[in-house]
């Protein structure tokens, strides 16, 4: 369960709010807004509107919903659902909830009673994620909150699995909230990820630098490479993808203009999916 960001006591979920024994109370947004809670205290915010903005979140939904990253989502689902006792699961940096929805639907279909949490710094992301997942039936249940990966609203050793797709890695916090022997699953870009996109944006594109993926406090259990090519059709998905990448901030006007003229884009997609166990 979530813990209170003020006093760290457990938060009880009620119809309209989360509340702790010291009466710190956090409203749940109404059902039409997807039912999420803001657990980010104003004095912990780095800006008034942190994380991905509304345009980036809707671009991400356009791109992801078209299925180009489904092989990653399938592999992530299999990984999380095959871990022993993976009942209490956190998506750390859930964005607009694409991976959360797939995992929850797969668990519901298999009758696995997941107690699922998604957190992100972006209220637009969390709102969209909660909406994506609100109709998934029991035995899974999900709660979404605005919160930070570097100050997670969970008690020590209270989760079985944390996973993270392309969001900041807070290994100290992940280790704190995982039970002994709990698992962390992370997706990272591989060397050739989105090379076709970079060939349009840059005169001299270079491959992503691949790290060794070691994390303090964790041992690596398995590494899986998921690599394939796709043709992206239409400006909506091309721009949706562009906005998801760090290149969105680093591209020249000329590069962005070249991309705007394309009706389709062929690119390599290249991920590493790494399973860790808390040491
Ligand atoms: C590249 S996106 C990945 C989102 C999602 N996992 C996906 O793949 O669609 C990175 C996400 O991390 C979020 N983020 C950035 N800093 C964060 C922090 N300190 N705590 C929680 N989320 C954060 C952003 O708002 C954004 O949604
Ligand atoms: Zn409290």
What is the per-residue pLDDT across 248-278, written as a single tens digit (0 to 9) for each?
988 899 999 999 999 999 999 999 999 999 9
167 lines ligand 1 (CB under 6 A): yes
Q: Which pLDDT band, with edges at 50, 70 and 90, does 34 fall under? A: low
The answer to whether the beta carbons of residues 181 and 100 sit under 8 Å apart is no
| Residue linked to tokens 């903005």 | 53
73 lines ligand 1 (CB under 6 A): no
CA of 26 to the centre of ligand 2 (A): 10
3-class SS string, the chain: CEECCCCCCECEECCCEEECCCCCEEEECCHHHCCEEECCCHHHCCCCCCCCCHHHHHHHHHHHHCCCCHHHHHHHHHHHHHCCCCCEEEEECCCCCHHHHHHHHHHHHHCCCCEEEEEECCHHHHHHHHHHHCCCCCCCEEEEEECECCECCECCCCEEEEEEECCCCCHHHHHHHEEEEEEEEEEEECCCCCHHHHHHHCCCCCCCCCCCCCCCCEEEEEEEEEEEEEEEECHHHHHHHHHHCHHHHCCCHHHHHHHHCCCEEEEEEEEEEEEEEEC
pLDDT on residue 35: 82
Domain residue ranges in the chain: 38-278
Query: Looking at ligand 1, which residue's alpha carbon is closest to its atom 13?
Result: 93
pTM for the full predicted model: 0.95
Q: Count of CB atoms within 10 A of residue 237's CB?
A: 20
The 10 Å CB-count burial string (b at 16+, else e) for 130-161 is bbbbeebeeebbbbbbbbbbeebbbeeebbbb
State whether CATH 3.40.50.150 applies to domain 38-278. yes
The answer to whether the beta carbons of residues 118 and 146 sit under 8 Å apart is no
pLDDT above 70: residue 32: no
Condensed to tens digits (0 to 9), the pLDDT of residues 207-216 reads 999 888 999 9
Q: Which pLDDT band, with edges at 50, 70 and 90, does 86 fall under? A: confident
Q: Per-residue pLDDT averaged across 63-74, rounded?
A: 97
122 lines ligand 1 (CB under 6 A): yes
68 lines ligand 1 (CB under 6 A): no
Instruction: Quote the mean pLDDT of the chain.
Output: 93
* 4 vs 19: CA distance, rounded Å: 8
3-class SS string, 202-249: CCCCCCCCCCCCCCCCEEEEEEEEEEEEEEEECHHHHHHHHHHCHHHH
* 232 vs 224: CA distance, rounded Å: 24
Q: Which of 46-55, 81-90, 209-218 has the lowest mean pLDDT?
A: 46-55
> Which ligand sits nearest to residue 52's alpha carbon?
1
181 lines ligand 1 (CB under 6 A): no
pLDDT above 60: residue 33: no
Residues with CB under 5 A from ligand 2 (ion): 4, 6-7, 9, 20, 22, 24
Q: Per-residue pLDDT averaged across 15-38, rounded?
A: 86
């Amino acid at each position: 369960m979530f813990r209170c960001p003020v006093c760290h006591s457990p938060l009880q979920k009620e119809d309209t709010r989360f509340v702790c024994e010291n009466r710190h109370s956090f409203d749940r947004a109404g059902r039409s807004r997807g039912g999420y809670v803001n657990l980010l205290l104003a004095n912990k915010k780095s800006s008034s509107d942190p994380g991905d903005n509304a345009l980036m979140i809707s671009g991400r939904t356009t791109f992801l919903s078209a299925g180009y990253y489904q092989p990653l989502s399938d592999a992530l689902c299999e990984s999380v659902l095959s871990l022993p006792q993976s009942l209490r699961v956190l998506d750390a940096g859930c964005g607009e909830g694409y991976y959360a929805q797939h995992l929850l639907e797969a668990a519901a279909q298999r009758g696995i009673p997941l107690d699922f949490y998604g957190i992100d710094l972006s209220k637009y992301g969390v709102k969209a994620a909660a909406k994506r997942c609100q109709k998934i039936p029991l035995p899974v249940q999900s709660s979404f909150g605005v919160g930070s990966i570097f100050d997670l609203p969970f008690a020590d050793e209270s989760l079985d699995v944390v996973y993270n797709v392309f969001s900041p890695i807070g290994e100290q916090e992940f280790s704190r909230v995982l039970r002994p022997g709990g698992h962390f699953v992370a997706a990272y870009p591989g060397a050739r990820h989105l090379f076709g996109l970079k060939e349009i944006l840059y005169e001299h594109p270079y491959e992503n630098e691949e790290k060794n993926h070691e994390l303090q406090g964790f041992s690596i259990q398995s590494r899986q490479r998921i690599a394939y090519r796709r043709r992206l059709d239409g400006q909506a998905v091309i721009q949706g993808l562009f906005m998801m990448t760090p290149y969105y901030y680093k591209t020249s006007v000329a590069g962005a203009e070249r991309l705007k003229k394309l009706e389709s884009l062929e690119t390599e997609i290249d991920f590493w999916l790494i399973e860790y166990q808390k040491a």
